[in-house]
Structure 1
Amino acid sequence: MAFTRATGKHRAPNRLTRRSAQVAGIAALATAGVIGATASPALAADSAATVETVGLTQVTAIGSSLAAQIEAQAQAQQHQADLAAKAKAEAEAKAKAEAKRKAEARAEETRKAEARAARAAERARLNSFRLPVAGSYVTTAYKSGGSLWSSGSHSGVDFRAASGSSVVAVGAGTVVEAGWGGAYGNNIVLRMTDGTYTQYGHLSSIGVQVGRRVSSGQQIGLSGSTGNSTGPHLHFEARTTPRYGSDMDPVAYLRSHGVRL
């Protein structure tokens, strides 16, 4: 049998048509799961070209670059935060150390001030003067005349004091005489810290020894009526030397040292 073909021009499929067919075939093979194993080199090359044409490689590259930038920025921000935290911690530690130093300095200054005040108080106590018999008063004045005194006048003053009354040092000093003093009976002589001397006569008992240091107000003996005396009292003298005859006004002496009488 003879075959005839319709009249007209018949052309072979062009390249675009063949490419479309190839793509369709590749898609079908990919669906079947066999493209990776059975595709020819030419088909694999065509597939790669198709992926590049879509732009997936470019998108992936851009995404990786952006992630790296974000990561770098995050690391930089964390580094700055760490530096700020470290600086803050160092500043706080420095502030605490400075506060501690100042507190210690204030405490030391307070301690020194208290020590100075204590020393001043002790000096004031040592340098303070008081009556030889607490609450007493003068019964016989200085330079009073009469036959009771060999010199014709009183070389000191007499303070009222019942027998056995406490007799104290009028100020701080050192004992230079303690014992029997003739007309003075039992007597004590002190060298005061200012270089003057004080005497305490007619005592019933003596409570200190020569060379002993005494403080202001410290008991040194008890009043009595020993020696040339007409009754219990305390004979008190202020002198420029430890010897008889160097006497000065005892009332003026005590008043010059702040004693009221």
Structure 2
Amino acid sequence: MAFTRATGKHRLPSRMTRTTRRTVGVAALATTGVVGTLAAPAFAAESEIEQTGPLKAVTMGDTVAHEVDAQAMAQRQAAEQAAAREKAEAAAEKRAEEAREKAEKEREAKARAAREAERKRLNAYTAPITGSYVSTSYQAGGGIWSSGSHTGIDFHAASGTAVHAVGSGTVVEAGWGGSYGNQVVIKMVDGTYTQYGHLSSIGVSVGQTVTPGQQIALSGATGNVTGAHLHFEARTTAEYGSDMDPIAYLRGHGVNV
């Protein structure tokens, strides 16, 4: 008895049928040589992937290694440059500090030298009349002096000649002094006193400090005199009668008279 399918209805081949057909197809391809033709390229492609895959990995690994090395080298160079800059800056700062210290020492040395020079200048002594000479000596006798002898020395000087302080001190008298005419008395820094008499004019006032060689007056012929000159005394006090040898006094302070 024969079976037939209904019109319009189709059934999928059974699993056994599909397997059988696939087997037959493969067998057919094998018979015609198609399998051999297709298999070779497939196997070749698979082989190429297996061969080139590791090469790509190796190439990428080398590139990364080179980049790491380059970065490390750049970092080392940057560190070396930074260290070199720091070293140069430190050396420059050290030189600058040494220069500052040297300049400071030089300034201190100059200041000390200036102070020493000023001290020497202030402690120096000079003659009261420049380029003059002693015309009347100390303790010279004669009736023209009330004490019977000369209490100072006279320096030859025309009227109007500059009179200088013989050393540093402070003016304690400046004005009329009786027989001395116009006079100036100075208390010296060593505690002694000097007196300048017969002045035509006075250029300092009481309380004023003076320095060696400073002009304090002009010589003249005021007071008890016979002519223009400078009367100079060295004293232990500001008062008359405390006189001491003015030549020895000046020479004891380095003045050649």
- Extract unaligned runs of 5+ from structure 1: 1-13, 27-42
Amino acid of the residue matched to residue 162 of structure 1?
A: A
Give 2:230's aligned residue. Answer: 234
Deviates more, 1:111-120 or 1:126-135: 111-120
Give 1:122's aligned residue. Answer: 118
- Extract unaligned runs of 5+ from structure 2: 1-29
Name which of 142, 148, 151 aligns with 1:146: 142
Distance 1:151 1:121 in 2: 42
- For residues 22-45 of structure 1, give each alpha carbon's deviation from its aligned partner in whole angstroms, at most 9, with x where no partner exists: 355x3xxxxxxxxxxxxxxxx4xx
Give 2:168's aligned residue. Answer: 172
Deviation of 1:47 (Å): 4.5
SS state of the match for residue 183, structure 2? strand
Name which of 196, 205, 210 aligns with 1:209: 205
Give 1:137's aligned residue. Answer: 133
Deviation of 1:79 (Å): 0.8
- For residues 88-141 of structure 1, give each alpha carbon's deviation from its aligned partner in whole angstroms, at most 9, with x where no partner exists: 111111111222222222222222222222222222222111110110111111
Distance 2:39 2:251 in 1: 132
1:157 is the counterpart of 2:165: no
- For residues 50-93 of structure 1, give each alpha carbon's deviation from its aligned partner in whole angstroms, at most 9, with x where no partner exists: 2145x211221222212221211111111111100111111111
Deviation of 1:48 (Å): 4.3
Amino acid of the residue matched to residue 67 of structure 2?
A: E
Give 1:91's aligned residue. Answer: 87
SS state of the match for residue 238, structure 2? coil
1:184-223 mapped onto 2 (5 Å cutoff)? 184-223=180-219
Name the TM-score, length of structure 1 as normaliser.
0.81
Distance 2:239 2:35 in 1: 147
1:22 is the counterpart of 2:38: yes
Name which of 73, 76, 81 aligns with 2:77: 81
Name which of 42, 46, 50 aligns with 1:49: 46
Name the TM-score, length of structure 2 as normaliser.
0.82
Amino acid of the residue matched to residue 245 of structure 1?
A: G
Amino acid of the residue matched to residue 61 of structure 2?
A: S
1:93-108 mapped onto 2 (5 Å cutoff)? 93-108=89-104
Structure 1: which 4+ aligned runs deviate by more than 6 Å? none
Distance 1:179 1:104 in 2: 54
Distance 1:59 1:178, change over 3 A: same
Deviation of 1:20 (Å): 5.4
Amino acid of the residue matched to residue 127 of structure 2?
A: L
Deviation of 1:49 (Å): 2.6
